[in-house]
Structures are given as structure tokens and as C-alpha cells.
Amino acid sequence: MSVFTTVTAEDLGPFLKRYSIGSLLELKGIAAGITNTNYFVTTSHGRYVLTLFENLTADELPFYVNLMAHLANHGIAVAAPVANLADEYVDELNGRPTLLVQCVPGTVVDKPSAAQCFEVGEMLAQMHLAACSYRGEMKNPRGADWWNATAPCLFELMSAADAEQLRAELALQAEQCFDDLPRGVIHADLFRDNVLLNGDHVGGFIDFYYACNDVFLYDLAITLNDWCASESGDVNADRAKALLQGYQGVRVLQANEIAAWPVLLRAAALRFWVSRLYDFYKPAAGEMTFAKDPWHFQRIINAHAERQDFWL
Amino acid sequence: MSVFTTVTAEDLGPFLKRYSIGSLLELKGIAAGITNTNYFVTTSHGRYVLTLFENLTADELPFYVNLMAHLANHGIAVAAPVANLADEYVDELNGRPTLLVQCVPGTVVDKPSAAQCFEVGEMLAQMHLAACSYRGEMKNPRGADWWNATAPCLFELMSAADAEQLRAELALQAEQCFDDLPRGVIHADLFRDNVLLNGDHVGGFIDFYYACNDVFLYDLAITLNDWCASESGDVNADRAKALLQGYQGVRVLQANEIAAWPVLLRAAALRFWVSRLYDFYKPAAGEMTFAKDPWHFQRIINAHAERQDFWL
């Protein structure tokens, strides 16, 4: 559950006085999310989500919250941050840095349709273009440097065959050079549970706390690996084609992107294979959550390695 | 009618390519408003209003559009401007500077209830506070300098009795000094037709093109004179009390504001008496609209002059 820091209506009274969003009607903890504390805050003006950051510090937040505000100002479906009377998005409550955002309409969809994948692809491309005028910079904290540094402590804990395959995947990616591919700000974690869908429409992309500067196509690959793959690692061709069509209706892929696409799909799976292996073998002290299945992403890599058609 | 510059779906195609709001589904002229051209633009992402400015130039717009964006970012119910891919709110179409804003929910209410007046008062106070961190500056284009310069050309066109009363009102206002009253950015034209109400809630304040830096209480007086007065100039005490209670729930009036309130109510009526007299006696060449009744505001001044109770 995701309420790590308790907030009462009494705590919220003076906090809301620093905003222009009316008076409190209802306060309700949100039981999703595993990193931060989240509450629904309903006021006389509307419905908001209040996040108390449990790990990120106030210094680290501007890249993410200014990005969300930038995207909202460009009409991208994201939860728009609300500034306080001091004209700051980040405030503080009960010893934690906080962010208030407008509620976005919609729900998480576990089994998306091709039409929904099309809309997600379109909004992702629009987000990539709208973020081109964003001035913040953030290195990918889960890029090649990270996985090359993290994997060695995992090899001895894995089966010999898995360790061999992981070494081979790392070596394959180390041979690549993506420097010429179009890049900019990416979401980097656009799984189904980070998108609220309102019917077929994108109500909002949420959880931008892995956003960073990297290759656009890598973001599309991360998205496809989650939105279009089944539990067995198999990719549904209709959904994959729809996602790519939605994306390319806004931003057409270049020749060098099409050439890099098969290996970027594997890179996008590798990143989550390694992070899930790490969470599985090296759980943080006191962590109570169930680690997600790392081998799901190994199966996706296997499926991509055997593939002839990449839906382009 | 308010479509002075025609926009076709063909015109809009390349224009929308400069935004991140999806593709055009419907385009429809809006028949309200007398200054600018307005269209409803429905895209695959949502519903927007496109304004083509017929008088204001691109140089004059940043104060207003940045103010609207600032207020939207603070959770004030206003139509949020949408930035284009060049990160500009003001674009251009068919030779006119343009602004795209998100649609706000609600409709114009001709006969507001006391509950609705309360909500408008509360949002107005929240707007005054949220705009304190806005850095733009704009002199009131319809302040005392303007009415003192404009009235002389009207005297000879009015009845002798009306001209005498107008001279006396101008003299009364010239004796006042409001320099010590709290001031900041005001809407300055918050009539019923510039507020969309969604049930009892404020869906959005619109039409910020008279916004300027002036005395907060003057804004409240303009609002009261329209929201709470009948055709005879009489003020409904329930609605006036509700408006003031809503406002003071957010920002309590100071002693010097309470002292200035009766004469500011007359100043707020004088401003519209003079502008409507001017529109009536000196219509712009080729103007086809019917001038609004100037004497309505004379009746409001008379009612305020005779009043004992100012609902405080």
C-alpha cells in the first residue's frame, strides 16, 4: 500500500491556504504505487492528487514537475501540476516534499485494444515533439552505464544459462551506437499502469519520475514491450502495428531508426530484465513488496531475437 | 456575430500541425462576442476555443495570455492557453494573431443565485491572490485618466441634467485617493457573460482582455454591479452579501477598503456609464452592434448614492 506518511484533514488545512484551489471537502489515501504516498484531495474547486515524495528530494523534483507543467501547457494529456501562492510547484507537508496535480480522467487498462494502443502511440509522439522545447536535462538513470554496472553482482546469483544469456545481451548492446538517432525527453516507463485511459482516449500519462533525455525510439520500445506483449513474451501484431501507426501519424521514423528498431526492442527489455533481477535477488532492507517476475523480460528478449517481422 | 475572419478546415490543418492536440474533428464558429473571431475546435484530444484577434496585435497579447496561463497553473478556473511546438501561446492564422485555449465547462447564467454569487466572489479573491506572483504589468486603459479625457466630448451630446450629474460624479472620484488600497492584477470586466458556471461552480472566467493592475476592491465593485443589480439599478441584498462573503472567505477586507467601498461602487459604475455613453454617442465607423444602455449604470450610481447599507 502506498500511504507511507499519514496526512490528516488538520494537516491539510494550513497547506491548502497556500494554494488557490478552494477548501477541503474530502481526503482519501490511494492504495496504488509503491514509492510515494498519494492522496485524492477533493476541494470546492475540483479533484486533485497530492503526492508526498518518500525518496526524491525537493532539489531533484524540478526536472520532473516542470516537465509535467510544460507538457500540460502544450495540451499533452498529463496531470497538470498546481502552483502555490509563492509560484512554486513543490511545497512541503509533514516533512516530505509535495506536489499537487489536477486529476486526469480515466482508469488503468490491463488488456488494451488495438485502438487504445493507437491512441497511446499518437500521444507518445506528441509528447516527444512537445518536449523538444523543454529546457531541463536529465541523464537516463537506468541506461547502459547503469545496467553494465549492475549486472556483475547478479551473474553469480542466476542460473549459468541465464547468466550467459545476460552477458550476451549486454555484449550485443555494447556493440551498438545510437548517437545519430533522434533524441529528447522520454517518459522511459510508459507501462499500462502509468496511463489512464478514458474509453479509447488517453486521459493522462502519469508517473514521470523516470523521465530523462534519451533516444525517442527507446521510449517507443519500452511502451510496445508492455502494451503489446502477453505473459509468454509474445507480441500481439495488431496492437503493435496500431501503436506504431499512431506514433508515425505524428512523427515518421527515419531510416536509421527503422534499422535500430529490432535491437532497441531488446535494449528496452534488457533494462527491465536487469532492474527486476536486481529487485528479486537484492531486495532493499525492509522491502515488503513482491518483486515482479524478471523472466518475463527474458521471454520478451527471446521472442524479439526469433522475430522476422517488427510491425513496420 | 463574431466571425469576422473566416477559417476553414483546410486553413486549420497546417496550423494544428504546429500543436500537440491531435487532428481536427470539427470546426464551428461561435456567435457570441463582439470584438474577436472565435471558433470551437474539436480534435482527437479534446475541445478548444480558437481566437483570432481583430484589434489586439501580437505584441500586446503576452500580458493577457501569460496571465491566463499563470492563473491556470495555479488552479484558478480559467481557459488554459495551449502552447505550440515553438513554445509560444500566440500563433498566427489568416493574417491574425491567434490563441488556442482549452474549453472550460459551463454556461453563462443570466439570473445567478446567491450560491453562484458566493462562488464567483470566492474565485475572484483566489484569482487576486494567485496573480500576486504574476510579473506582467498593465495600466488600466479605462481608469480615471481615460474617463476624465473621454467625458468632455460627451457633455454637449447629453441632456443638461445628465451632463451635470456626470460632471459631479467625475468631481467626486477626483477627490478620492486609493493609493493605500491593496492592488494587483484585476479582471476589470467580470460581468456575467465573462463567467461560465457549471451548476453552482465556476467553470471558468473568460475574456481577460481588460485585465490590468489596479485596486482589488474596484474589481469586486465591477463584479457586484453586474452580478447583483437588477435592470432598475437596484441591488439584490442576498446576492451582494453572498458575493462579499465568498470573497472575504479567502481575502478579508481591510478597514481602509471598507471605508472606500461605497465610493468605489460608484467608480465602477462610472467607468461603464462613460464607456457606454461613448459607444452610444460616438459609434465607431461601420459598427453594426447595438450599443448597450448607458443609463443602466447611471441608475446604479443613483441607487448607490441613496444607499445606507453596503452589505458588509
Task: Give the model confidence (pLDDT) of B28-57 as tens digits.
Answer: 999 877 789 999 999 999 999 999 999 999
Spatial separation of the C-alpha atoms in residues A222 and A149, rounded to whole Å:
21
Domain boundaries, chain A: 9-102, 114-306
- With a cut of 90, say whether residue B124 has pLDDT above it: yes
Using the structure block, give the residue that is written with the C-alpha cell 484533514: A9
Q: What is the pLDDT of residue B289?
A: 59
DSSP assignment string, chain A: ----S---HHHHHHHHTTSSS--EEEEEE----SSSEEEEEEESS-EEEEEE-SSS-TTTSHHHHHHHHHHHHTT-SB--B---TTS-SEEEETTEEEEEEE----B--SS--HHHHHHHHHHHHHHHHHGGG-----B-TTSHHHHHHHTHHHHTTS-HHHHHHHHHHHHHHHT---TTS-EEEE-S---GGGEEEETTEEEEE---TT-EEEEHHHHHHHHHHHHSB-TTSPBPHHHHHHHHHHHHTTSPPPHHHHHHHHHHHHHHHHHHHHHHHHHHHSPPTT--SPPP-THHHHHHHHHHHH-S----
Residue A12: the pLDDT is 96
Give the residue-averaged pLDDT of B217-230: 97
**In the Cβ-directed half-sphere of A194, how many Cα atoms lie within 13 Å?**
18
Nearest-CB residue to A83 (from B22, B74, B85): B74
Find chain B residues with C-beta within 8 A of A87's C-beta: 74, 133
Count of C-beta atoms within a 10 Å radius of residue A289: 11
Residue type, B151: A
CB-side exposure of B248: number of CA atoms within 13 Å? 14
What local confidence, expressed as pLDDT, does residue A288 receive? 55
Whether B155 shows a pLDDT value over 70: the answer reads yes
CATH number of A114-306: 3.90.1200.10
Q: Return the C-alpha cell found at A255.
A: 531510416
Percent of chain B with pLDDT over 90: 90
How far apart are the C-alpha atoms of B61 and B99, rounded to whole Å?
Answer: 9
**Averaged confidence pLDDT in chain A:** 94
From A20, A23, A201, residue closest to B76, measured CB to CB: A20
Alpha-carbon distance B30 to nearest alpha carbon in chain A (angstroms): 22
Q: Nine-digit cell at A25?
A: 471537502
- B/e letters for B104-138, b = 16+ CB within 10 Å, e = fewer, are bebeebeebebebbbbbbbbbbbbbbbbeebebeb
The stretch A87-109 carries a mean pLDDT of: 97
Contact call for B20 and A132, based on CB within 8 A: no
Give the pLDDT confidence score for residue B1 in this predicted structure: 43
Q: Which of B75, B82, B127 sits opposite A74 (nearest CB)?
A: B82
Q: How far is B21 from chain A (nearest CA, A)?
A: 6
Can you give the pLDDT at residue A285? 65
Q: Cβ distance B252 to B128 under 8 Å?
A: no
Q: Which member of B48, B69, B201 has the closest CB to residue A73?
A: B69
pLDDT at residue A179 tops 60:
yes
Q: A interface toward B at CB cutoff 8 Å? A: 19-23, 44-46, 48, 69, 72-77, 80-87, 100, 102, 119, 122-123, 126-127, 129-130, 132-133, 201, 249
Q: Which chain A residue has the Cα nearest residue B79? A: A73
Task: Find the closest chain A residue to B129 by CA distance.
Answer: A85
CB atoms within 10 A of CB B54: 14
- What φ, ψ does residue B87 adopt, rounded to 5°? 65, 35
Query: Does the interface predicted TM-score (ipTM) exceed 0.90?
Result: no
The residues pairing with A38 across neighbouring beta strands, listed in sequence order, are A51
Chain-wide mean pLDDT for chain B? Answer: 94
Mean pLDDT of B128-156: 96
pLDDT for residue B287: 57
pLDDT tens track for B282-307: 887 655 556 789 999 999 999 999 99
Asked if A22's CB is within 8 angstroms of B76's CB, the reply is no
Range A212-221 average pLDDT: 98
> In percent, how much of chain A has pLDDT > 70?
97
Could you tell me the sign of the dihedral formed by the alpha carbons of A201, A207, A212, A217, in that order? negative
Helix and strand numbers, DSSP H then E, in chain B: 10, 9
Local structure of residue B85 (DSSP, 8 states) = T
Residue in A20, A69, A133 nearest the CB of B75: A20
Q: How far is CA B58 from the centre of its chain?
A: 20
Q: Which residues of B touch A83 (CB under 8 A)?
A: 73-75, 133
Q: How many CB atoms lie within 10 A of CB B65?
A: 21
- CA-angle at B296, arms to B257 and B183, nearest 5°: 25
Half-sphere exposure in the Cβ direction for A159 (13 Å, CA):
5
Strand-pair partners of A81: A101
Which cell numbers hold the place of A182?
533522434
pLDDT digits 0-9 by tens, B250-273: 999 999 999 999 999 999 999 999
Q: Do domains A9-102 and A114-306 have the same CATH topology?
A: no
> What proportion of chain B, given as a percentage, has pLDDT over 70?
97
Q: Which residues contact A82 (CB under 8 A, 6 or more apart)?
A: A19, A21, A48, A89, A100, A101, A102, B73, B74, B75
Residue A77 to chain B, least CA–CA distance (Å): 8
What pLDDT shows up at residue A290? 65
Tell me: pLDDT of B201 over 60: yes
- With CA atoms as reference, report the closest residue to A22 among B32, B270, B94, B130: B130
Q: Are B25 and B104 in contact (CB under 8 A)?
A: no
User: Residue A1's pLDDT band (boundaries 50, 70, 90)?
Assistant: very low
* B76 pLDDT higher than 90: yes
Residue B34 has a pLDDT of 72
What pLDDT does residue B290 have? 66
Choose the mutation target among A23, A66, A73 for the interface with B, i.e. most B CBs under 10 Å: A73
The third-level CATH classification (topology) of the domain covering B9-102 is Phosphorylase Kinase; domain 1 (3.30.200)
For residue A286, the model assigns a pLDDT of: 58
Distance CA A97, CA A100 (A): 11
pLDDT tens digit string along A136-146? 999 999 999 99
Judged by average pLDDT, the poorest of A28-32, A189-193, B109-113 is: A28-32
